[in-house]
Amino acid sequence: MRASRLPLVYWGLALLGIAALPWWMLEDGTSLGRLAGFAAGEGDLASALRAATGFGRFWLWPVILAPLLALPALWAGASRRLASTALIAAGALGLVGLIAQGMAVGINGWGWPWLEAWFGPLSGGQLGIGLGGALSAAMFLMMLMHGLALAGRFGGDRFVAGSVGVLIAAIVLFTIWPVTTMLSQAFAPPKGLSLADAFSQRFLAQKIWGLACLQGQGACGVAWNTLALALATATTTTFLGLCFALIVTRTGFPLKKGLRLLTVLPIITPPFVIGLGLILIFGRSGIVNQAASSLFGLELGRWIYGFDGVWLAQVFSFTPTAFLVLIGIVQGISPTMEEAAQTLRASPTRSFRAVTLPFVASLEKAEEARERIDATAVSEGVRPIVFSTLVKDDVREIVKRSNGLFLDFFDAMPNTSARSGSATICTMP
């Protein structure tokens, strides 16, 4: 379809949603006869235009009049600037009007007391938007994004503009709006309490900050449980991710490709699959519980539904992410330094824990490296050997001031342009 016809399509579908289809959702279901909102005999079944003209729903007029602003864009001789201005105005007014009327009038009448003081009480409210409202909202969004594309936004690409608009609308509707609504309830004080009193009672409640678990008298608060879960998950996933990264990059493990696939698989699976799988395996009727009960007479209980189960699900979910982050870091550390440490008879554990200091690229890290080298010299009683591939002069000078035998691999190079970009220090006492 040619781009010049798209505004007409948007305008026509928006008009269909406003004038013909039922504006609000139908409580008793949708049928072919009830789709004729333009001829409805009840206000709740009518289209926006029918409801405003026949049933006194005056708050719908901004939405009804919004498509009129897009008429200049439908004229074949309209300039690009005129068309973009008209579509932006129509789309913006339609969306703002639709959101405003939905927030202003609820199911029981006015949403705010000051509206009732201005316009008087309503005889009834309104339900959520239905087919007509949803269609009109979508078309207003397309008008707005089409107008922005005509104005030069998004590189003038109408498809990209429309896609961005749909993504933003989806994020707002299904993420930002529900989360904001839930969080706002924390600041809605009950009757008889001020906002400060209500907030202090909720935020400082015993069920959030309680430490009864330390005295064996119950469970700790939600905040402490969340902190413990976060620390346990972060520690476990980092450890497992590092193990997988070292296996893939530092060993001759024959199934490296399979290991990579297994670590990435939880990322591409739907989020609920891990939780559902754990319940089917370790739940009360799970495979493991049934096998333990039938073979050994053991009742494993409901442990999967508590802290341990949530921790296990989080470990399965975030270990792949830790692996993908850490494998890049491990690959960036040259194995030459580790091989040099092993040549000097350092154990693998010592090479990993105390020999290699990767990515010394800032003055702060250089100071930490110098302090660590000096501490090694004091604890071992001999000067450590420092193998350096540091590039920055100021960083290298700080490390050279340490109490170690400093050997720079780049000293023999005729110019600094040939230096590698790595920044690794290997110390051996």
The pLDDT tens digits of the residues spanning 222-248 come to 888 999 999 999 999 999 988 888 888
For residue 389, being part of any structural domain is answered with yes
Report the range of poorest mean pLDDT among 9-13, 137-141, 162-166, 397-401.
397-401
The region of weakest confidence among 32-41, 226-235, 263-272, 333-342 is 333-342
Among 289, 310, 331, where does a domain finish? 331
Q: Are residues 236 and 322 in the same domain?
A: yes
**Predicted confidence band of residue 422 (pLDDT cuts 50, 70, 90):** very low
CB 373 within 8 A of CB 399: yes
Same domain as 347, residue 326: no
Question: Alpha-carbon distance 195 to 186, whole Å?
Answer: 9
pLDDT digits (tens, 9 = 90+) for 370-408: 888 888 888 877 787 777 766 677 777 888 888 888 777
Tens-place pLDDT, residues 5-41: 888 999 999 999 999 999 888 877 666 767 887 888 7
SS3 content of the chain, % helix, strand, coil (to 5): 70, 5, 25
Q: Is residue 293 part of a domain?
A: yes
The answer to whether residue 48 is domain-embedded is yes
pLDDT of 351 above 70: no
Classify residue 32 as exposed, middle or buried by CB count within 10 Å of its CB (0-12, 13-18, 19+): exposed
DSSP 211: B
**Are β-strands 356-357 and 105-106 bridged in parallel, bridged antiparallel, or unpaired?**
unpaired
Specify whether 254 is located in the same domain as 355: no
Which of 29-43, 136-150, 412-426 ranks highest by mean pLDDT?
Answer: 136-150
- Assess whether pLDDT exceeds 80 at residue 249: yes
The DSSP result for 37-68, as a single string, is: GGG-SSGGGS-HHHHHHHS--GGGHHHHHGGG
Measured CA to CA, the distance from residue 29 to residue 347 in angstroms comes to 73
Taking the CB of residue 93, how many other CB atoms lie within 10 A of it?
Answer: 21
Q: Give the number of other CB atoms < 10 A from CB of residue 82.
A: 14
pLDDT value of residue 263: 72
Do 326 and 365 share a domain, yes or no? no
Around Cβ 271, how many Cβ atoms within 10 Å? 10
Burial class (CB in 10 A: 0-12, 13-18, 19+), 1: exposed
SS3 315: helix
Shared domain for 302 and 321, answered yes or no, is yes
Domain presence at residue 178:
no
Beta strand 385-388 with 405-408: parallel, antiparallel or unpaired?
parallel
Task: Tell me how far apart the alpha carbons of residues 384 and 373 are, in angstroms, rounded to a whole number.
Answer: 7
Q: Is 201 a member of any domain?
A: no
Two tokens, residue 415: 């110019």
Tokens representing 354 are 């105390």
Which CATH number fits the domain that encloses residue 299? 1.10.3720.10
> What is the rounded distance in angstroms from the CA atom of residue 90 to the CA atom of residue 70?
5
Domain that residue 293 falls in: 218-331
- Say which residue, 389 or 208, is predicted with more confidence: 208
Q: Same domain, yes or no, for 323 and 358?
A: no
SS3 427: strand
* Domain-embedded: residue 412: yes
Q: Are residues 25 and 139 in the same domain?
A: yes
Q: In terms of domains, do 18 and 61 share one?
A: yes
Are 248 and 260 in contact, with CB atoms under 8 Å apart?
yes
Give yes or no for residue 103 having a pLDDT over 80: yes
Question: E-assigned strands of 46-205?
Answer: 105-106, 109-110
In this model, does residue 425 exceed pLDDT 60?
Answer: no
Residue 410's pLDDT is 63
Instruction: Say whether pLDDT at 334 is over 70.
Output: no
Res 418 pLDDT > 60:
no
| Region of poorest pLDDT, from 42-56, 173-187, 384-398 | 384-398
More confident of the two residues 311 and 388: 311
Structural domain ending residue among the three candidates 156, 172, 206: 156
pLDDT at 421: 42
Task: Say what percent of the chain tops pLDDT 70.
Answer: 86
Shared domain check, 103 and 13: yes
Is residue 183 within 8 Å of 194, Cβ to Cβ? no
Q: What is the mean pLDDT of the chain?
A: 81
Alpha-carbon span 139 to 289, nearest angstrom? 54
Do 345 and 326 share a structural domain? no
Residue 379: count other Cβ atoms within 10 Å of its Cβ.
Answer: 10
How many residues in total does the chain contain? 429
Return the pLDDT at 389: 67
CA pair distance 417, 128, nearest whole angstrom: 67
**Whole-number CA gyration radius for the chain:** 33
Tell me which of 156, 175, 190 is where a domain ends: 156
Does residue 419 surpass a pLDDT of 50? no
Q: Specify the range with the lowest mean pLDDT, choosing from 203-207, 270-274, 353-357.
A: 353-357
Question: Are 313 and 363 within one domain?
Answer: no
Residue 309 counted as domain residue = yes
Kindly report the number of other CB atoms within 10 A of residue 331's CB atom. Answer: 13
Examine the domain organization and report whether 150 and 270 are in the same domain.
Answer: no
List the helix and strand counts (H, then E) for the chain: 20, 6
Q: 148 forms bridges with which residues in the sheet?
A: none
Question: How many CA atoms lie less than 13 Å away from 317 in the CB half-sphere?
Answer: 18
| Residue 148 placed within a domain | yes
Total domains in the fold of the chain: 3
Is residue 280 within 8 A of residue 286, CB to CB? The reply is yes
- What's the CA gap between 135 and 78, in Å, rounded? 26
Q: Could you give the C-alpha distances from 250 to 66, 246, 254, 330, 331, in angstroms and in order?
A: 65, 5, 12, 9, 9
List beta partners, residue 211. Answer: 220
